[in-house]
A and B are shown apart, each in its own frame.
Chain A
Amino acid sequence: MKLNRKTVISLLLKALILVFLIVIINTRLSETVVEGTFEKGLVFALLALGIFISFRILDIPDLSVDGTFTLGVAVSVMNAFNGNPIQGILLAILAGGLAGCVTGVLITKFNVQPILAGIITMTALYSINLKIMDRPNISLYRKDTLFTIMEKYFGAHYKLITCGIVVLIAGALMFTFLKTQAGMSLRATGDNEYMVRASSINSDRMKIIGFAIANALVSFSGAMYAQYSSAGDTNSGTGMLVVGLASIIIGEIFFTRHTILNGILAAVFGAIAYRFILAFAMNLGMDSNYTKLFSAIIVVIAISIPAIKNYFTTFYKRVFKKGNGGAVDA
């Protein structure tokens, strides 16, 4: 990397944010909170990975996420409630993939606009989720979950270790997949559809596969979250799209180069960083009712940074640079 002023400034800025985060973690948050935040961050890293596939790789906004997250919660919590926590997670992944296929088919075969297709799936899933759970919320109190099973093997930090292993496996699988022929076809579909069809790739099928993987991951995240918190709620998916998007955008501040590895790292790292920012805000006394508002604001700020930078530089040029007209000359 060449060391010009711009890269130095951006590096310094990143270092500053990192130091700031670490200082907060060390001084403000207790050890249990830090561990809990890490765990939650890892659970939601799966969500961010799913959204990374639809938003970044396919470059299509997929709004079914709010529904498929709850679908994961519902399937996972019902199976765990009946004593099959691991089967619940596996079925949740499958169900999420199926729901993703529906969105994909709506977009490619029925020419429904992507945003509308997502909303349709999400709305339909609302009823389906209610039907699966049969009541608005379920507690897994005193029931076996993936985590209580893993406690025997991993000891004191079992939750953190379980989440870590799951995310590591999911990330590694995703990385490997995106480097295969099928994975490269998927990436190319989001990158240049003309080229893809001219290269004898069925772009419709690639999109459906992409949505299936994306929503399987989101549902996986929901399934993990339900067993992690030992409870399931039919409203738990609300706002998950924005949460996932916020995670990715935060991660991309640190992993700027557009490679697959960077994208995956950005999603995972961003999901964890997002939880820490949230934990800090709560620590400062933010009402927990504001979490969704908070994530919405983070997304707006993160997306508008380039525009704000632009206003700032033009302002700077106008005021401080001679010869460009403006205040100094006047």
Chain B
Amino acid sequence: MSRPADTPASETPAVVPLTLDQRPARGPAIRRRIAILGNPNAGKSTLFNALTGLRQKVANYPGVTVEKKLGICALPSGGRVELLDLPGSYSLRPGSPDEVIVRDVLLGLQPDTPPPDLIVFVVDATHLDRNLYLALQVLEIGRPVILALNMMDAAEARGIRIDERALEEQLGVPVVKISAARGTGIGNLRRLLERDVEPSTVRFRRLPPHLARVVQRLETRLPRHELLPERGRHDLALALLLDDGEDDAIARAAPPEVLDDVGILRRRLDQLAPGWRSDDIEERYETISQILARTVLSPGETRDANRERIDRVLTHRIFGPLIFLVLMGAVFQSVFAWAQPAMNAIDFLMTRVGFLAEGLMPAGPLRSLVVDGIIAGVGTTLTFVPQIAVLFLFLSVLEDSGYMARAAFIMDRLMGRVGLSGRSFIPLISSFACAIPGIMATRTIDNRRDRLTTIMIAPFMSCSARLPVYALLIGAFVPNRWIGFGTLPGLTLFSMYFLGIAAAIAVAWVLKRTVLRGGKPLYVMELPPYRMPSWRSVLITVRDRSLLFVHKAGTVILAVSVVLWFLASYPRGGPEVSALASRIAAAQAAGDAPRATELEDEMAGVSLRNSFAGRVGRALEPAIRPLGFDWRIGIGLITSFAAREVMVSTMATVFNLGSPGDDVVSLRESLRGAVDERGRRAYTPLVGVSLMVFFVLACQCMSTVAVVRRETNSWRWPLFMLVMMNALAWVTSFAVFQGGRLMGFG
């Protein structure tokens, strides 16, 4: 069965919205929208990059976490077309959120994305038969298609010979041989994009008779839908019958009485032809083998010697895990070694910009807002970029070379114990450096529930921002003694890392049995051939990840940063501050600079203690008293939402120490010597431990919240994370402090 004659390709609207760039000055208007589609690992993105260069943008499909990649492609004639890079799919009968999007776009059910005028279907020529499965499904829905036989260089090297003219004849659409990675054949493809391509008129053997009858019956019951072309009713009927995911667009497109009918028809088919749900698959593979028999002149070398050689080492029982660990170690060493200087440079630069602004603006609330609110917020956002860039540089090389799938293969068993898959391992390990890039790296997890679980537990990994806090508290409260096989400070630090991992495992276990419970997912994953990564693709990934973080998370970070600035700086003044101000002026007049600095530090302390943050800290005291914390720690808990290490500088300000700089010795002394209202010691070692435990578990990082918002495309998950982590932190610190007191510590 194929496209009825009454539905020409031109039925899709001729005038399309210009979603990417509406400025006519940049060239002729965009006439057509072309989608790139294909299996994962078929080289779709490489082709997309080769056709669009750097003219791309990334957004999200509304309501889901699937990324929408759009670009502009210049044609030989000077015209331009809009390219849409659809997510890699195995089938139009969706098995993942990505594949739901592909089906909905092609069937015209995706509201923000009209069906493409032309589809470039990318096929990996070295895996022709599996790739042709989706190709046939796409041809069957009767849209214009160009088939791009990609990786022809690899295919020819293996002696695979394909008669493309015969393939054109068999499929009824233009076929072009390309190698997207090498850039060969791209010119031919560009020329083809200018042509008006007709949908295939080949009648593919399609549905077994019993299925065809049922689909036809269903089809006539469907109303004419504004979004669906005439032909689309057949595809919708098929989707209604065969797709039983958790969706959505298909069910909405059909009236309720038809949905009832679908249930009845399914039950009848279950009785008549028990295997009916997969009959079309066997038919399609049968068709494919007939097509291949007429088009593949030589199947070439069936074994990939290269991959076998590499895999023997990389997935070896002993060397495999060893190489993986060494590789991961090298990656994180590089993240620290390469990103740290850049982060320091950004930090230095932003401080300079702050000084500059201070010099240019008169003192006052506006200057304070610009310097301590806006410039500080922009600085926070930017300091994450080096880590994101370096990590994604490595991760995309590992992904594009094919190694990432092997890493997941090696780690799957271990992660399976907590209900996740091997794909979760690298994002979690990355989170020891920083949860931000770690959470962004969860995109390679295709199972939605696994991905959300991984995002929810990633911030439990002790990130580098917690280290200054641990260092301060261990230095202040843990005696430097040898016990057993290590020093007490070292063991304490180790315990904090361990506590984070234990919490992550426990939370993953609970989430997978409660809010993220779901049917048994299929953990089948393709192990692609090894390939040389293309530098262009790698650099585009690095750029996209960094820019998306700055755009989407940066705005939230900036807003929260301004709010935190406000809380810590208002209300200003008061009699105490005025008195100090005149004493500072007096000290300066007398030329006693050290005294003036001392008084300035005291004034900063007074201002902070009297600010809204100080008041909230005091108001918070009853809630955190059972954990051993007083209002001064309460202030630190609020300000450290900007970033955990801010805790250190806040405590310094609270104790009138000004900025602690590199030397935190005096701050340690102050913490040890701090007294409460009744003159007793305010912070015992037990309080120090309780506070560290709180820092391990609490979600005290606006940037994490912002990136979870961006990655889950909703506020629900970041808020859930905030509540869940802070509740867990409170309960655990409570248990540590109260338990410790019962046992006679502190």
Is the pairing of A and B real?
no
Residues of B bordering A, CB below 8 Å: none
